[in-house]
Amino acid sequence: MDFSVIENVGKTQHPKTYDGHIQYGTAGFRTRATILDHVLYRMGVLAVLRSKAKNAVIGLMITASHNPECDNGVKLVDPAGEMLEASWEKIATELANVNDSDISSTVQRIISEQNISINTPASVIIGRDTRTSSAALANSSIAGITAANGTFKNFGVITTPQLHYLVVCTNTNGSYGDATLEGYYRKLSNAFKSIRGGSPSSDKYVPSVKLDAANGVGAIAAREFKKQLEGFLNIEIYNVANENLNHECGADYVKVQQVPPATVPVEINCRCVSIDGDADRVVYYYVDEKAKFHLLDGDRIATLVAGYFKELLNKSGLNLKLGLVQTAYANGGSTHYIENVLKIPVACVPTGVKHLHHKALEFDIGIYFEANGHGTVVFKDSAIEAIRETSASSDSSTAQKDAASKLASAIEVINQTVGDALSDMLLVETILHANGWDVLAWESSYNDLPNKQVKVKVEDRNVISTTDAERKCVKPVGLQEEIDKIVSRYPKGRSFIRASGTEDVVRVYAECENSTDVEKIAQDVASAVRRLAGGVSLS
């Protein structure tokens, strides 16, 4: 590894032209695409170092998920498909922000501090979304990988979950699946068709959905699933252009605005699905006969999955620990239903997939979903083995075998590496088919508390500090007391704030029993944030 080459290429071909501080957040770096060239170059270098440190293939995904087209970003994916280790987030932030003349010394210090053998081979898998800036940024990362003497495989335009899948398959030598896009589609599609079996248990379930692909890369994957699942699930795809990415469409828009995209021809009580720009979030929704919008978000998906898995576990006779992980954004109605009706343990963790995923791994079967629709199910190897043994054992009854077989097929439908919008959609469709449910039956399982989210722009998001899985604000001093006073005036009132991981914004969440009061709570808390945390505007 020639450190002078790494620094010289950075200085001359990918110089740092942005003086502001860029931070690696919960979803990697994410900001305006025009200032990311030097960051992508340096992350190419860092991916090589991480690969050497882990002696495994590392993923590098170029995407800004649900952000507008003008933004972009990059995140590194660790060997088991998980987010980059937290300690390396600080390393990534430092390397991205040093002066061009300090690249060599910084890289050498990382190698020394992390005890990296520079003779270990390094390999990186690259993927990107459909943004116009993504191709050039991919080339910047390739320049960094090459300068650091790493090798790479560029899969071009793919979804973020597909990149995670490819990383895991490569590092497990194919035991998780075939490390190709064809292998990804084949694994999920075959399992979906296998578990469906015969007709649904009632005629309420109609095997057809309207899918809003957010004008992003998910449209490509959705088309392939539509082809492979013909005769099992009809997928009508909308918002498939490579422009206007996430503009008034996509999972984040539907979740926050509480309206369907104008481009999706919504019919009464028809199941509609929206994914986000890189296809790792999914939400369901429908419009009733009174034209009222109904959202079935990540909380609804989590409870649906939890109920289904608990039923199959009971029927199979397997004694496996099932648990569900939520964040503070989870609706209080869902938490009450899970704990008191389903009687499944619930854990609450800070926002961010890495926190949810880590906690879910503590259960034999861990289900995690953020309210925004980002989530999946993870299984311990011992749980998978027990499920497969039961499905094949001569000592198991027919009912036990059948339940265990369905669990085994469900495992293959799920992309355990990360939240996968299309995999999650197939899981939801599997369960609705098994239950014989339409959207009305699904929604009737429990009542959500009315809720509202707003954003407050601030001068510096780092003035906000929280604890108790982000449910309590400890800085600025006095702000939590203000929030407590506000929510105490409303039945079942709850509100919390948290700083964005990618921009100088404070997010406010509010819920209470009466829908007419939710807006009051949200605006009052937002005003307190502006007053005590240096807010500059409200949106």
User: According to the annotation, is 156 in a ligand binding site?
Assistant: no
Q: How far apart are CA 364 and CA 400, in angstroms?
A: 18
Measuring CA to CA, which residue among 230, 228, 196 is closest to residue 436?
196
Q: Give me 204's structure tokens.
A: 């309420």
54: left (phi over 0), alpha (psi -120 to 50) or beta: alpha
User: According to the annotation, is 500 in a ligand binding site?
Assistant: yes
Measuring CA to CA, which residue among 443, 433, 367 is closest to residue 229?
433
Are 446 and 438 in contact by the 8 Å Cβ rule? The answer is no
Are 338 and 344 in contact by the 8 Å Cβ rule? The answer is yes
Q: Is the previous residue joined to 450 through a cis bond, with omega within 30 degrees of 0?
A: no
User: According to the annotation, is 92 in a ligand binding site?
Assistant: no
Are 522 and 512 in contact by the 8 Å Cβ rule? The answer is no
Which residues are within 8 A (CB) of 202 and not within 5 positions of it... i.e. 6 or more apart? 436, 437
Task: Tell me the backbone φ, ψ of residue 212, rounded to 5 degrees.
Answer: -90, 110
* Given 51, 65, 133, 134, the catalytic residue: 65
Task: Tell me the backbone φ, ψ of residue 412, rounded to 5 degrees.
Answer: -75, -25
65 is catalytic: yes
User: According to the annotation, is 246 in a ligand binding site?
Assistant: no
SS3 301: helix
User: According to the annotation, is 421 in a ligand binding site?
Assistant: no
Crossing angle for the helix pair 398-413 and 421-435, nearest 10 degrees?
150
User: According to the annotation, is 150 in a ligand binding site?
Assistant: no
User: According to the annotation, is 370 in a ligand binding site?
Assistant: yes
User: According to the annotation, is 371 in a ligand binding site?
Assistant: yes
User: According to the annotation, is 502 in a ligand binding site?
Assistant: yes
User: According to the annotation, is 515 in a ligand binding site?
Assistant: no
User: According to the annotation, is 276 in a ligand binding site?
Assistant: yes
User: According to the annotation, is 524 in a ligand binding site?
Assistant: no
Are 289 and 269 in contact by the 8 Å Cβ rule? The answer is yes
CB contact burial 322-355 (16+ within 10 A = b; e otherwise): bbbbbbbbbbbbbbebbeeebebebbbbbbbbbb
User: According to the annotation, is 280 in a ligand binding site?
Assistant: yes
Q: Give me 110's structure tokens.
A: 């990382």
Task: Tell me the backbone φ, ψ of residue 465, rounded to 5 degrees.
Answer: -135, 135
Q: Give me 101's structure tokens.
A: 């003349």
Are 364 and 321 in contact by the 8 Å Cβ rule? The answer is yes
Are 350 and 438 in contact by the 8 Å Cβ rule? The answer is no
**Binding-site entries for Mg(2+):** 65, 276, 278, 280
Binding residue positions? 65, 276, 278, 280, 370-372, 498-502, 507
Annotated active-site positions, please? 65
**Residue numbers belonging to the annotated binding site for substrate:** 370-372, 498-502, 507
